Amino acid sequence: MNDSKKKVVIVGGVAGGASAAARLRRLDENAEIVMFEKGEFISFANCGLPYYVSGEIKEQSALTLQTPKSFNARFNVDVRILSEVIAINPDVKKVTVKKVVDGTTYEESYDELVLSMGADPIRPNIKGIESNKVFTIRNIPDTLRLKEYVDYKKPQRAVVVGGGFIGLEIAENIKAVGVDVTIVEMSNQVIAPIDYDMAAEVHCHLRSKGVKLMLNSALEEIEEKDNALEVTISGRKVETDMVVMAIGVKPESKMAIEAGIEVNSRGAIKVDSHMRTNIKNIYAIGDVIEITNFITKEKSYVPLAGPANKQGRIVADNICGLGTVYTGTQGSSVMKVFDITVASTGLNEKEAKRQVLDYGKVYTYSANHATYYPGASMMAIKTIYEKKTGKILGAQIVGRDGVDKRCDVYAVAIRANMTAYDLTNLELCYAPPYGSAKDPVNMAGYVIENTLTGKVEHICWEDLEAAKADENGILLDVRTEAEVANAGIIDGFINIPVDNLRARISELDKSKTIYITCQIGLRGYIAARILSQLGYKCKNFSGGYRFYKILEADKNANN
């Protein structure tokens, strides 16, 4: 680092901005660093806000990782809160700052400018949206207002608009304090990063907790009615005591646009791999920017805390001449939904279809640890892979303990361009309380390997009706007779338990295709191997009867 003193102005003091400031100071003790934040708080934990509403996080102070005073003491950063940067003049390298308290303005010069304004909650232009019974939750003041209303007004009913991360977290946390919750979502599923088939597991769990789901539905109007609200949802009137808007966010880029900084169609600032905008000496990071998808290399918008923090570090490196690059976002995420965990990384099937990729998918169900050790629970895993190479493209997991651990393994595998064959070779930690000798990630690798090498052919849930309609097919359920008697059977299937299959093989016509199911797919694979080696053509139902029942239950509930 040279000895010349550089002045860096950072606009925004939460995830990306605070990370950039801290890294910059660690690299350059002589730099003058000024960080502006229009709110009262810096470096606060956005992702923890819903849990403060329920009291799961008890102290407000726990939400602020640093205060302006502590940040200055440790990093010698001039932190100016309640100071909104309202204009950029790149020609003279100055920004205009408005003091929130009194509205006065002044100019501040910079050598390098970092934009980390984040994103604002989307508030649709509908009647009644400005009611004081309508809330968003993006920052600490939003959270305090919502918590005060829940604590003191004691609402009995709430409508949460949006089934994404924030919507579900808010739904869980206000349900925990006794509020009856309805989630309204425009699409046919919650949690957009996962596919419908995996979201069906989440739908069933939400309903089991007493949460009402209104899918394929849109909020159209809000009206005050006595001391409550009457909301119109796709033509249906619903009474509620409060509404929480959680339909997503939009980049807070108006000021950047006015300064001539290039943005995409969504208003996200365009940056290169060094986080540089089209204007010299101006960088941008976090929820305000467009990102490059790590797998497809397409431009996209993925507002997540992990990438924002990494980008903050990278921009500081580049200001200090280190030349670090951001290699893209793969969208790794995890969330708690009541008693289950939902995690995903990489491409989902919707995106793989949109990209017209030659992909395959498998569904596996594995225990989080050795089943003979008390407390084991099953997790549902959907793995997306490239058919030609077996390269892992994406994974989605729904379960209880151990979901985050497995999804992290997948995230690393994707970042390292690993294949299903590599998954089979991973040596992961094992002890009965923590895992199995064949980890769930290994198991997914085995299933894909068996598919790629022709040992088994799969059908998936969307292929089931075609299998039923196949006049040259036989539908075979290889679960035990007791399982079938207790849990039921898919219409059209006959039952021959896998352990009786060799003795009863004469009951099957070798000229026909055998479509096999079991509970989760494992015994179906064993049956397929027995039959295929005896000259039968077989196809195994990936995910099995359990998966079918989840999808049927969700379809019936939605109807």
Catalytic positions = 47
For 423, phi and psi rounded to 5 degrees? Answer: -60, -35
Q: Given the structure tokens 């010069």, which residue do they identify?
A: 109
| Residue 143 token pair | 């959270």
| Residue 202 token pair | 């989440």
| Residue 354 token pair | 């949109």
For 253, phi and psi rounded to 5 degrees? Answer: -115, 10
**If residue 428 lies in a helix (H) or strand (E), which one and from where to where?**
none
Kindly compute the dihedral angle of the four CA atoms of residues 192, 198, 199, 205, in this order, to the nearest 10 degrees: -150
| Residue 47 token pair | 């992702």
CB atoms within 10 A of CB 530: 16
Q: Which long-range contacts (CB under 8 A, 24 or more apart) does 320-326 make?
A: 320/1, 320/24, 320/27, 320/28, 321/1, 322/27, 323/274, 324/274, 325/273, 325/274, 326/273, 326/274, 326/275, 326/292
Q: Provide the H-helix boundaries in 209-345.
A: 254-258, 305-319
User: Among 207, 215, 391, which Cα is nearest to 294's?
Assistant: 391
| Residue 330 token pair | 């793969």
User: Among 166, 141, 114, which Cα is nearest to 39's?
Assistant: 141
End-to-end CA separation in angstroms for the chain = 65
CB atoms within 10 A of CB 176: 16
| Residue 80 token pair | 């100016």
Q: Provide the H-helix boundaries in 384-463.
A: 403-415, 420-425, 440-452
Q: At residue 118, what is the residue type?
A: G
Contact 115, 87 (CB under 8 A): no
Kindly compute the dihedral angle of the four CA atoms of residues 421, 423, 425, 427, in this order, to the nearest 10 degrees: 180
